[in-house]
Amino acid sequence: MNKDFYRLSIEAFRHGVRAANPGKCLKEAIKENPIQTPNGGKYIVVSIGKAACSLMETAIDILPPKREKQLLVVTNYQNYKPIIGSEIITAGHPIPDKNGIKASNRVIEILKNATKNDTLIILISGGSSALLPAPVKGLNLNDKIQINQLLLSSDLNIREINLIRQSMSTLKGGGFTKIASPIPINSFILSDVIGDDLRVIASGPTVSPIGNIEEAYELLVKNNLYSKLSLKLQDFFKSKTRSIFTDNKLNQNILIGNNRKSVVAMAKSVNAEVIPYPIVGNVRTATQKIFDEINIRRKMKYVALAFGGETTVNVSGNGTGGRNQELALRVAEKLFNQKLKGKWSFLSGGTDGQDGPTDAAGGIVDQDTIKKLYDNNMSVEKLLNNNDSNSALKFTNELLVTGNTGTNVADLQLFLWKNT
What are the C-alpha distances in Å from 29 to residues 68, 83, 254, 278, 306? 22, 22, 7, 24, 26
Cβ-in-10-Å burial (0-12, 13-18, 19+) of 278 comes to buried
pLDDT in tens, 89-111: 999 999 999 999 999 999 999 99
Please write the tens of the pLDDT for every residue from 252-280.
999 999 999 999 999 999 999 999 999 99
State the Cα–Cα distance between residues 255 and 205, nearest whole angstrom.
14
C-alpha–C-alpha distance, residues 179 and 224, integer Å: 34
Count Cα atoms within 13 angstroms, Cβ side, for 207. Answer: 19
Q: Can you give the pTM of this predicted structure?
A: 0.91
The DSSP secondary structure of 132-161, one letter per residue, reads ---BPTT--HHHHHHHHHHHHTS---HHHH
Three-state secondary structure call for residue 102: helix
Per-residue pLDDT of the chain (420 residues; tens, 9 = 90+): 678 999 999 999 999 999 999 999 999 999 999 999 999 999 999 999 999 999 999 999 999 999 999 999 999 999 999 999 999 999 999 999 999 999 999 999 999 999 999 999 999 999 999 999 999 999 999 999 999 999 988 989 999 999 999 999 999 999 999 999 999 999 999 999 999 999 999 999 999 999 999 999 999 999 999 999 999 999 999 987 777 888 888 899 999 999 999 999 999 999 999 999 999 999 999 999 999 999 999 999 999 999 999 999 999 999 999 999 999 999 999 999 999 999 999 999 999 999 999 999 999 999 999 999 999 999 999 999 999 999 999 999 999 999 999 999 999 999 999 988
Domains of the chain, CATH where assigned:
3-12+260-418 (3.40.1480.10), 21-257 (3.40.50.10180)
Calpha distance 151→357 (Å, rounded): 14
Beta strand 185-190 pairing with 119-124: parallel
**Whether the bond into 182 is cis, omega within 30 of 0:** yes
Q: Is the dihedral of CA 255, 190, 164, 361 positive or negative?
A: positive
The packing angle between helices 259-270 and 3-19, to 10°, is: 140
